[in-house]
Amino acid sequence: MAKTLIVLLGPTGVGKTELSLRIAQRFKAEIISSDSRQLYKEMLIGTAAPTPAQLNRVKHHFVGELALTDYYSAAQFENDVIHFLEDYYQEHDIALMTGGSMMYIDAVCKGIDDLPTIDETLRKEIIRLYETEGLEPIKKQLRELDPVYYNQVDLMNPKRVIHALEICLMTGKPYSSLRTNTKKKRPFNIIKIGLTRDREELYERINMRVDEMMKDGLLREAEKLYPFKGYNSLNTVGYKELFSYIEGELRLEEAIEKIKRNTRVYSRKQMTWFKRDPEIVWFHPEDEIEIEEFIDRNL
């Protein structure tokens, strides 16, 4: 049997977690999380991290391994997962990667451009600028150094804007000139399974999930993490809105509704991204038998 990576992906709230556990057990696979926020050990409720019971059912990797203050990127994730799989495939035939972080999934499946490691002093200078003056001066520098990427990037995403400026300053070249988007060939088979639901069904699940998180203590978790709110790890739906409540900018009911709305918006962005990939075969999460048969045929 060829070494195989099953990729189970889809928008937030669609139902990946429970299905991934059953598929992993069925195919005797361990799970790699491709959720960029579940990597952080302090963000359990807000990221819907696997519970201790779920972790006991199937061995997971890349869950709860980082501190909030650690810097991490899709490029590091690619490198770490590829090295992990080299060892893993010595003893196993099948691994299962699941999550919804689009860049992280693409990094493992397709590869991303080899870019230089950012000097720590430079990184701290840009972060300090962001924390003291906001994103505007960083966007201004990026527009001057790389107008091409400036017109492509989501200017509301601080992580993307900051990273692009770091590369420009580090290399002396426009970030856009270093992005080749050349797909890397992997030494293992990749089966991509997308999970989808009707929009109204998905939105209802998202709303219910947010309510459950609040009952489980999301506000207490946000209060505990509030001193670290300037770190990129916490620039995340669920925490940002509750930080606004803690600062008195929103009433709690408003913050909760905003979490639901922003999560729904994020789910649409995820689907737009995933739909561009013709290698993904789509199923409803309840089509478990069909999914398992599809995997069997492609192993």
Residue 108 shares a structural domain with residue 137: no
Please, what is the average pLDDT of the chain? 93
> Rounded to two decimals, what is the model's pTM?
0.82
Taking residues 161-170, what's their average pLDDT?
A: 90
Residue 195 shares a structural domain with residue 74: yes
Three-state secondary structure readout of 86-135: HHHCCCCCEEEEEECCHHHHHHHHCCCCCCCCCCHHHHHHHHHHHHHHCC
Domain end point (choices 160, 178, 196): 178
Amino acid in the structure at residue 91: E
The percentage of the chain sitting over the pLDDT mark of 70, rounded to a whole number, equals 99
pLDDT at 216 over 90: yes
Taking residues 264-292, what's their average pLDDT?
A: 96
The alpha-helical segments, DSSP class H, found in the chain are: 16-26, 52-57, 74-88, 102-109, 120-133, 136-145, 147-150, 158-171, 175-178, 199-216, 218-225, 239-246, 252-274, 288-298
Expressed as residue numbers, the domain containing 155 is 120-178
**Bridge partners for 40 per DSSP:** 66
| Nearest alpha-carbon partner for 82 in 187, 3, 10, 2 | 187
pLDDT of residue 33: 98
Residue 101 confidence class, pLDDT cut points 50, 70, 90: very high
pLDDT of residue 7: 98
pLDDT of residue 194: 98
Q: How far is CA 187 from CA 50, 240, 287, in A?
A: 29, 40, 29
Q: Give 44-72 pLDDT, tens digit per residue.
A: 999 999 999 999 999 999 999 999 988 88
Residue 226 confidence class, pLDDT cut points 50, 70, 90: very high
pLDDT of residue 119: 80
The total number of structural domains in the chain stands at: 2
281 close to 194: Cβ distance less than 8 angstroms: yes
CATH number of residue 143's parent domain: 1.10.20.140
Residue 127 shares a structural domain with residue 261: no
Domain end point (choices 147, 178, 209): 178
Domain end point (choices 128, 160, 178): 178
Residue 180 confidence class, pLDDT cut points 50, 70, 90: low
φ/ψ (deg, to 5) at 13? 85, 0
Output 155 or 223, whichever has higher pLDDT.
223
Taking residues 117-122, what's their average pLDDT?
A: 82
Of 68-72, 141-145, 198-202, least confident by mean pLDDT is 68-72
18 close to 276: Cβ distance less than 8 angstroms: no
Taking residues 274-288, what's their average pLDDT?
A: 96
Residue 62 shares a structural domain with residue 191: yes
Residue 86 shares a structural domain with residue 126: no
